[in-house]
């Protein structure tokens, strides 16, 4: 949806009221959860810290098993969570394949056209604003449903697609994959003034320059990276088709796999799917080019296996994008964590924690030569036995662990369900204040009218008393942005 600037103001905002949400968590019993699912889309009014002032809606099949995947689906401008739920087709596949869906919703209080603010560093960066609110929704839903944290995905249309790309860049440790529908590359624009240029024109950046925008969103992160599907109509006059190419360049560079397609095929509606494989031969990036499609989400009403959704404003009858996106992520199959056939280790348990460490144990798997231990999706250990102690952690912090068995050839089997270990001691100190007062207190500095956190040097926005952020002191004198994360 045209979002973002006077040139793009193509429709009036349809949401009249601000969305005022309170903090806290709602925990539903299995009976209440089943009742909510039977009624369809449900709002969660107390999902935790909400610095981005978003609303949370969710849908889950009544028989959703533990350790199921989770999909976050983000609407476009002038749309709503219920609108996206009704038209996009995600409900059909949640029922068929067994996963939960979270629908974040923004409103006129955040943006006059109810767009997610994909171009605002105060809203789309790690630990800040709307992005932090979405990740808090993931945390709430994952705890509520017992989600497989290695199978959390995010998708979005237009401005929701732009925010999706930013979430994938800022939180690759949270999202295993994403789909950007008629959206923008991660961190394409960092101001409202620059947004139109991204929408309508070629930015003339190299793949490495695009990839650096992702890598700079979470400095020091070493992978694994999300698998990214890109959907773009060739007749889109709101988000120019070059954005699909730029997204392809960005994410193939992040994966280090080049921009030459590993394979192409023709799908319904004449759609061309180009895939770009990782070193193991699995598609890491897919570009879906839909001929003649204007700006919107591709749907295909009908009862066929590969059909879904209903037409409407910005829901266009070409192909069921949700079906092909879900298959690209592997939602239609059991988890595929490696090429090995070994089962997931049973009995993963937290056996102890300290201020800086967490100890785990699990049951042996017959045929395993070793095990891979993953913290928040990243491998941190490869013990040969059935226990492991993770060190160098922050005090008072929750970490999520899974384990997979490794066969003698080095192939990883299916990962276990996740457990949470919370280190002891006090969490790093947090301070909430205006940028001006952060500077005067010695937690930040300013240059060129902008404020930067001491230590991490993260951009906090304008240096004035109207901008408020939370800083976390992770080590003496080293501060990181932590809006919604303290």
Among 3, 158, 196, 300, the one annotated catalytic: 158
Token pair in block for residue 382: 């490869």
> Are 399 and 386 contacting, i.e. CB atoms less than 8 angstroms apart?
no
Pairing of strands 152-157, 70-74: parallel
Among candidates 426, 360, 364, 431, which has minimal Cα distance to 395?
Answer: 426
Task: State yes or no: is 158 an active-site residue.
Answer: yes
* Preceding amide of 224 cis, omega within 30: yes
Residues designated as active site: 158
């Amino acid at each position: 949806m045209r979002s973002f600037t006077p040139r793009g103001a193509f429709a009036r905002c349809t949401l009249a009221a601000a969305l005022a949400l309170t903090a806290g968590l709602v925990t539903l019993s299995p009976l209440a959860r089943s009742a909510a699912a039977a009624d369809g889309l449900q709002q969660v009014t107390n999902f935790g810290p909400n610095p981005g002032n978003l609303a949370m809606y969710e849908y889950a099949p009544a028989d959703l098993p533990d350790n199921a995947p989770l999909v976050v689906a983000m609407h476009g401008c002038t749309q709503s969570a219920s609108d996206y739920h009704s038209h996009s087709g995600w409900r059909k596949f949640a029922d068929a394949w067994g996963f939960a869906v979270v629908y974040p919703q923004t409103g006129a209080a955040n943006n006059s056209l109810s767009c997610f603010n994909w171009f605002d560093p105060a809203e789309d960066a790690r630990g800040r604003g709307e992005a932090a609110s979405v990740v808090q929704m993931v945390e709430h839903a994952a705890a509520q449903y017992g989600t497989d944290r290695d199978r959390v995905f995010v998708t979005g249309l237009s401005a929701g697609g732009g925010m999706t790309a930013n979430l994938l860049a800022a939180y690759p440790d949270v999202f295993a994959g994403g789909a950007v529908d008629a959206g923008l590359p991660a961190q394409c624009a960092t101001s409202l003034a620059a947004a139109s240029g991204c929408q309508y024109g070629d930015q003339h950046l190299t793949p490495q320059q695009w990839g650096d925008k992702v890598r700079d969103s979470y400095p020091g992160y070493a992978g694994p990276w999300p698998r990214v599907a890109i959907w773009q109509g060739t007749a889109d006059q709101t988000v120019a088709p070059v954005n699909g190419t730029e997204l392809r360049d960005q994410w193939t560079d992040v994966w280090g796999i080049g921009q030459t397609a590993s394979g192409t095929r023709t799908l319904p509606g004449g759609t061309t799917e180009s895939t770009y494989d990782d070193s193991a031969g699995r598609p890491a990036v897919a570009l879906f080019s839909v001929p003649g499609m204007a700006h919107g989400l591709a749907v295909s009403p009908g009862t066929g296996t590969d059909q879904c959704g209903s037409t409407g404003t910005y829901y266009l009858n070409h192909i069921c994008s949700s079906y092909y996106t879900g298959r690209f992520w592997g939602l239609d199959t059991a988890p595929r964590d490696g090429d090995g056939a070994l089962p997931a280790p049973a009995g993963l348990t937290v056996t102890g924690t300290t201020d800086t460490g967490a100890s785990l144990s699990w049951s042996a798997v017959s045929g395993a030569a070793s095990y891979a231990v993953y913290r928040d999706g990243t491998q941190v250990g490869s013990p040969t036995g059935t226990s492991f102690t993770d060190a160098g952690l922050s005090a008072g912090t929750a970490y999520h662990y899974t384990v997979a068995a490794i066969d003698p050839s080095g192939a990883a089997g299916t990962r276990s369900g996740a457990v949470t270990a919370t280190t002891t001691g006090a969490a790093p100190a947090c301070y909430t204040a205006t940028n001006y007062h952060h500077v005067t207190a010695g937690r930040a500095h300013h240059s060129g009218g902008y404020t930067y956190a001491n230590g991490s040097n993260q951009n906090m926005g304008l240096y004035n008393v109207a901008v408020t952020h939370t800083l976390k002191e992770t080590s003496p004198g080293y501060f990181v942005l932590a809006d919604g994360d303290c």
